[in-house]
Copies of this chain bind each other. A is one copy, B any other.
């Protein structure tokens, strides 16, 4: 070995360092300057909070097929037009319509005439209770396995009470949700197999309070005449019911709900775009879902994601950035109970052969952004991860591989996109409000919302600049 070899070794070490620094030679001071401009603009002269104020306080809840949903379509379309986007249009989509009807009512009867109120709400998509309500005995279970073990003998004619809590010690609350939400989604169809008369599900919340949390449920392939009513009970109510059951196993649970499924109705995705200067036929999508559940005003889920997506386009224009790709903001309709908007968007994109470079969704609440979750190949992710350093000054530099968003998922499933991402806000408070009457505007902090919008804009900018590199 000679001196030449030492040079080679040093060169090899140099290459290794370059490699492990994740291609970071690509991003530069200009990128850092642009992202700083974006954050300054969002925090000093942002519009997202004002838009959310209107959406939440002037329009309110926006369940698919409701008046609120249609008002929100009109409003966001108008706001896009006011932004002076190059193109704004409505993409028609038929959506399911389910209405809650008169407010639910429920009580626990420990002996004739001795009752206490329980806070419940019908699960989205549930059938109503029989005329006059349903009153019967309750069987508490923590899992579908437990349900099977009890079998028809113990279940038939009774109400099944699913009471497995979300796990407190999971740091990412989305994981705690994932570990419990099966009870809500499939609880009724599973209980039906053993002849249950109805189901009551512990609310998907990490907070101990009196708010029942609704959300989508499915009867699977249960025949119409076998469908049983399903409701959520507040966490305080669930604890009370469980404790009371231990003392009085024969207590009766009464509930009355008046919800109803209607034929599909016409609705829309709202789309606005800035035409790309170099690749007008290649698309970058940023979006949230415009529909919400009907109990609160859907500020965190997902008014926040919608106004942040609008703000991305506004901020790009505000700093005078002319994108190379066409950048679309999409207000998806019907994420909560059908995903019709997301599916429609992807189907149309495929039909038209629209090449999609990147899609980003914000649907985890308007809280302090911690980073992004990317759904892409390892090699693409390695390169994207080298951008983390640009987000360090904003404490939004946690880039991980993982899921993206429900509404943009169909773009991946239909094979027309290689890079998707979801904004990852702080998750600790999300399930305190999710799908409940307290998901309201006052729970959103202006700065947290604006920082999320700015972080999203930063990623869209970088994807516009470097996204064409992601070919696998």
Contact = CB atoms under 8 A, between A and B. Distances in A.
Interface of A: 1-3, 5-6, 9, 13, 39-40, 43-44, 168-169, 171, 173, 206-207, 368, 370, 393-395, 398, 426, 428-429, 432, 445-448, 451
A368 B445 CA distance: 14
A61 B13 CA distance: 60
Q: How many copies does the complex hold?
A: 2
A451 B171 contact: yes
A168 B445 contact: no
A444 B34 CA distance: 35
A432 B445 contact: yes
Contacts of A1: 1-3, 5-6
A451 B43 CA distance: 28
Contact of A169 (B3, B44, B171): B44
A95 to B, nearest CB: 34
Contacts of A2: 1
Given A44-B169, A206-B447, A429-B445, 10 more contacts: A1-B3, A6-B9, A40-B169, A44-B168, A171-B395, A207-B446, A395-B398, A428-B445, A428-B447, A432-B445
B446 A393 contact: no
A394 B429 CA distance: 15
A80 B5 CA distance: 67
A59 to B, nearest CB: 22
A173 B368 CA distance: 13
Contacts of A445: 428-429, 432
Nearest to A397: B398
A273 to B, nearest CB: 28
Contacts of A39: 169, 171
A206 B3 CA distance: 61
Which 9 residue pairs are nearest across A and B when measured between Cβ atoms? A43-B169, A40-B169, A43-B168, A428-B447, A428-B448, A44-B168, A44-B169, A1-B1, A368-B426
A43 B172 CA distance: 12
A104 to B, nearest CB: 26
A39 B370 CA distance: 20
